[in-house]
């Protein structure tokens, strides 16, 4: 899982950027490299990502 990356879509500008899955822990603040908008990882975000990966979908 250390090398697994997840596509993150900025809620402000819709830019897609990658983050390592190991860095997406509850409470982590993620900042968009383009617009600087930020969001905090919450339990439901991480759960949705894991479900998507288990199903083989990119989201």
Q: How many CA atoms lie within 13 A of 44 on its CB side?
A: 1
- Asked if 30 and 9 touch (Cβ cutoff 8 Å), the reply is no
The predicted structure's pLDDT at residue 4: 75
Show me where the domains of the chain are located.
5-55
The predicted structure's pLDDT at residue 13: 94
The predicted structure's pLDDT at residue 28: 87
CA angle 3, 37, 58 (to 5 degrees): 40
pLDDT tens digits along 19-47: 887 788 888 899 999 999 998 887 766 66
pTM of the predicted structure, to 2 decimals: 0.61
In sequence order, what are the beta bridge partners of 31? 38
Residue 57 has pLDDT above 60, yes or no: no
Strands 5-9 and 16-20: antiparallel
d(CA 51, CA 12): 24
């Amino acid at each position: 899982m250390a090398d697994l990356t997840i596509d993150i879509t900025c809620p402000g500008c819709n830019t897609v950027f990658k983050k390592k899955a190991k860095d997406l822990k509850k409470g982590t603040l993620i900042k968009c490299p383009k617009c600087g908008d930020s969001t905090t990882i919450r339990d439901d975000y991480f759960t949705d990502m894991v479900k998507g990966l288990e199903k083989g979908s990119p989201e």
